[in-house]
């Protein structure tokens, strides 16, 4: 199976925490079934319909330290300097058409899957965070997306999807990313952070995605946890978050189709779109749980409207030695 070429890379990435200080483990689940304000049988099951991500964060900048030093010197062994961390992850995303047919429907996007491994380096220097990331993966049958969706639907007694018979074809893919965030303002109450506002901008390039985005994110609550560093929270925390973002997209494999297939796109991608999110989170000791709702405007001209899905994120941070 073509997806087997990912296994050595995934094994190396996921084994890496054994050779470094583990700062946290995170599991993220995205699904439009998490639109809890909609009756269960009426919730959408199309566009970006499901995603799962398992990640481990480690201390240091192993393998990319030279790049980190161009931004800010990393602190070593608790000394002065920027906090540098490395996150490795394994994930899968599923995209489905709004109309499910045994034959492709004009004006309807591909059924598609993306199975990938990735890595992100982070440099936090005071009120500024820089991130450098990469995803490497496969589309088509090796993504195992069809098997997952059909199995889950069979177990749950849902409809049997036919669109996977003409899913997006096999293609190895890569996307390189860079992002920067700056904390603009914060408020403290009793020595703890009660509110903050940050702006961010970033870009990605590759055969899977090429584009740029910029936006603003705000949080407020009781003893806000640090969103950027691996500091373990002191005392329980409860907070709300919300933000907006604009994006310019030059390529999206899941809308534009395979790079070298020669087939015309099934839909016409829109170059500009807007995103918004809101959510609630809680932290107790080293465990945290966040639920966030994410919504966007239309991605392609034939799409009748935007799309909204929910996301759960569970994180565990072990106690760090003093």
Taking only the tens place, the pLDDT of each residue in 129-165 is 999 999 999 999 999 999 999 999 888 888 788 899 9
- Cα–Cα distance measured from residue 223 to residue 68, given in angstroms and rounded to the nearest whole number: 30
pLDDT digit string (tens) for 260-279?
988 888 899 999 999 999 99
Please give the C-alpha separations between residue 32 and each of 51, 83, 94, 195, 227, in angstroms, as whole numbers. 10, 35, 11, 29, 25
Cα 66 to the chain's mean position, in Å?
Answer: 25
d(CA 298, CA 306): 4
Cα separation, 204 vs 236, in Å, equals: 36
In the numeric block, which tokens belong to residue 102? 């045994």
Assigned fold of 2-316: Lipocalin (2.40.128)
Q: What is the pTM of this model?
A: 0.90
DSSP annotation of 42 reads G
Distances (CA, A) of 143 to 28, 95, 97, 183: 18, 12, 17, 37
Asked whether residue 232 carries a pLDDT value surpassing 70, the answer given is no
C-alpha count within 13 angstroms, C-beta hemisphere, residue 189? 8
Tell me the pLDDT tens digit for each residue of 166-214.
999 999 999 999 999 999 999 998 778 899 999 999 999 999 999 999 9
> Residue ranges per domain, the chain?
2-316
End-to-end CA distance of the chain: 47
pLDDT score, position 17: 47
Question: How many Cα atoms are found within 13 Å in the side-chain-facing hemisphere of 125?
Answer: 13
Question: CA angle at residue 249 from 244 to 254, to 5 degrees?
Answer: 105
């Amino acid at each position: 199976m073509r997806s087997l070429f990912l296994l050595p890379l995934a094994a190396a990435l996921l084994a890496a925490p054994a050779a470094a200080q583990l700062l946290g483990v995170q599991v993220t689940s995205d699904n439009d079934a998490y639109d809890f304000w909609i009756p269960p049988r009426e919730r959408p099951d199309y566009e970006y319909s499901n995603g799962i991500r398992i990640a481990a964060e480690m201390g240091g900048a192993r393998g990319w330290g030279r790049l980190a030093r161009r931004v800010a010197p990393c602190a070593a062994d608790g000394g002065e300097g920027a906090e540098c961390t490395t996150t490795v992850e394994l994930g899968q995303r599923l995209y489905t058409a709004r109309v499910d047919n045994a034959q492709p429907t004009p004006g309807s996007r591909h059924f598609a899957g993306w199975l990938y491994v990735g890595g992100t380096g982070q440099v936090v220097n005071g009120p500024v965070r820089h991130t450098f990331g990469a995803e490497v993966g496969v589309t088509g049958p090796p993504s195992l997306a069809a098997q997952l969706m059909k199995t889950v639907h069979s177990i749950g007694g849902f409809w049997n999807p036919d669109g996977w018979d003409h899913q997006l074809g096999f293609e190895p893919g890569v996307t390189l990313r860079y992002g920067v965030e700056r904390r603009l303002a914060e408020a403290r109450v009793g020595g703890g952070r009660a509110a903050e506002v940050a702006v961010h901008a970033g870009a990605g390039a590759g055969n899977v995605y090429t584009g740029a985005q910029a936006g603003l994110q705000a949080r407020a609550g009781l003893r806000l946890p640090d969103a950027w560093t691996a500091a373990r929270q002191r005392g329980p925390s409860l907070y709300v978050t919300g933000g907006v973002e604009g994006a310019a997209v030059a390529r999206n494999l899941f809308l534009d189709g395979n790079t070298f297939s020669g087939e015309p796109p099934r839909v016409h991608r829109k170059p500009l779109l807007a995103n918004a999110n809101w959510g609630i989170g809680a932290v107790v000791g080293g465990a945290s749980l966040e639920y966030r709702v994410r919504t966007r405007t239309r991605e392609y001209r034939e799409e009748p409207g935007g799309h909204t899905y929910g996301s759960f994120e569970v994180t565990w941070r072990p106690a760090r030695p003093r």
